[in-house]
Structure 1
């Protein structure tokens, strides 16, 4: 299968589904497609809420290593990591609540996307990892979103132990996931929750969205400042060698 980001509206629920054959990792073009799809559904009057989901066994493997290896200047580096900043800001600025369906593991930027959801349902297979330090960079762009959900102490634990997977139970206990389910329960529980949420007053839901994301307006500049840090670090010999090692 080829990579895609697609949308569908059913019963007042807007569904965004993404896929990439490399573990649902994101190249920059697909990050932009995700931003545009979120913005498109935000304007769609037939959708009261949005469900964000992926296909396959992995939820999201974060940034595309192939594209990271191709970056050879600061401008391109900042632009690539700004892709994740664009996604998180699109999720934050969207007037509609976003429900995440996390069926499997999330790494790096994938954890940031989960954190950008207003409510996330996950399975016991949804382990998480922030491996950025192990390749010479850091989760700078997604840190505000993740820390907002799980707190700085848990964020530190997740970041500094970048070679370790944290089990889905850990992520649930820290607040990244609102509900933890067995894999076979996820679809039915998601449909039940999303259908109920979509039946509420759209105006009340929109006002609630603004309340949930108050005090984050500065992210419109902060996340791009963080993208420049990552864009600089990805040019280092340490990172280039680490990425090559991961590919092998």
Structure 2
């Protein structure tokens, strides 16, 4: 199957689904499309609440596309690539609709950032998380603000430093990344439908105002995340990173 990003509307709920055949990795075109669809859904009066989900049943999101990272050969292209994640996070942050995350499987790097950028996150017991960036010579610079906002600086540092370790869904729940964890995808989806059905019945003006309150103090993120993208875009060209990335060819 080819990669895609779709928006389906059912009973005032907008279901945004992304997919990539390589474990739902995120190349630039998918990131751009995802950001644009989130913005469009936020402006759609037929939608009261959004669900962010991915295709497949094993991996929510494997993070950045390694094939694209390997091909980067200048700082401008590096910034352009990593700003893709910045644009998606900022689109989620500024979207006037609450975004509920459906995390059915593992998340790595940018995938953890996407989960953290949702307003409420449901997951399965198989939804372990990893921030692997330091192990390849860069760091989770772009997603750090949104991850730290959700789980705190100490927990973010913990999983960043242990860059080759997957942390369990229970760890993610304990630290605040996940609100609820379920034994199966079926139970996850049942709880998800119950939640979004209730939210879609609430006063949309109240939901929009609550979203503003929840994200207060992040107005500077347009600038901050772009600055972080420049750091990653520079580090991806380092000799250390280039040497490390050869293993992934």
TM-score by length of 1: 0.99
Please give the secondary structure, in 1, of the residue aligned with 2:60.
Answer: coil
Match of 1:196 among 195, 198, 202: 198
What is residue 110 of structure 1 aligned with on the other side? Answer: 111
Partners of 2:114 and 2:246 in 1: CA distance: 25
Please give the secondary structure, in 2, of the residue aligned with 1:72.
Answer: coil
What is residue 207 of structure 2 aligned with on the other side? Answer: 205
Partners of 1:70 and 1:45 in 2: CA distance: 40
Q: How does 1:19-98 map to 2 (within 5 A)?
A: 19-56=19-56, 57-98=58-99
Q: Deviations over 1:70-108 (max 9, x none)?
A: 100000000100000000000000000000000000000
Partners of 1:10 and 1:126 in 2: CA distance: 26
What is residue 233 of structure 2 aligned with on the other side? Answer: 231
Partners of 2:224 and 2:34 in 1: CA distance: 21
Q: How does 1:5-20 map to 2 (within 5 A)?
A: 5-20=5-20
TM-score by length of 2: 0.98
Please give the secondary structure, in 2, of the residue aligned with 1:243.
Answer: helix
Please give the secondary structure, in 1, of the residue aligned with 2:115.
Answer: helix
Match of 2:223 among 221, 224, 227: 221
What is residue 101 of structure 2 aligned with on the other side? Answer: 100
Q: Deviation at 1:206?
A: 0.1
Please give the secondary structure, in 1, of the residue aligned with 2:77.
Answer: helix
Q: Deviation at 1:241?
A: 1.9
Partners of 1:244 and 1:197 in 2: CA distance: 47
Partners of 2:62 and 2:15 in 1: CA distance: 20
Q: Deviation at 1:238?
A: 1.2
Partners of 1:217 and 1:118 in 2: CA distance: 16
